[in-house]
Amino acid sequence: MSVNLQEGFIITRDAHAALLDLKNLVDSAEEKIRVAERESIGAAIGRTKGDNPLKTLRDAAEQLQSPSFETAVALARDKMQSAVKWHLEGQKA
């Protein structure tokens, strides 16, 4: 594999890794919301076990507003733009 193709592979792989990191944060927040749904259903039917759906929802919201989430979004955006730019420049050559 040529050095140029290796560079393209690495740039594309980095974009994929950044997107996976972002996905993991979103998946974690989604799981918290799913738990909050179950807690809400339990409260609605009178089967609470000390669950607090509001606290669980706040945890999910805080995760999506955290600096680490913002960093992950920015990094994924940057890596994706770099990969697209690299591939566009490769098509021109």
DSSP tally for the chain: helices H, then strands E: 3, 0
Please tell me the distance from the alpha carbon of residue 32 to that of residue 40, in angstroms, as a whole number.
12
Answer whether 19's CB lies under 8 Å from 78's CB: no
Please tell me the distance from the alpha carbon of residue 85 to that of residue 92, in angstroms, as a whole number.
11
Q: Give the three-class secondary structure for 1.
A: coil
Task: Give pLDDT, residue 60.
Answer: 94
The pLDDT averaged over each successive group of 10 residues in the chain (93 residues) is 85 97 97 94 82 91 95 98 92 63
Would the pTM count as exceeding 0.85?
no
Domain that holds residue 53: 3-92
* Domain total in the chain: 1
CA dihedral 91, 74, 69, 35 (to 10 degrees): -40
Please tell me the distance from the alpha carbon of residue 9 to that of residue 6, in angstroms, as a whole number.
5
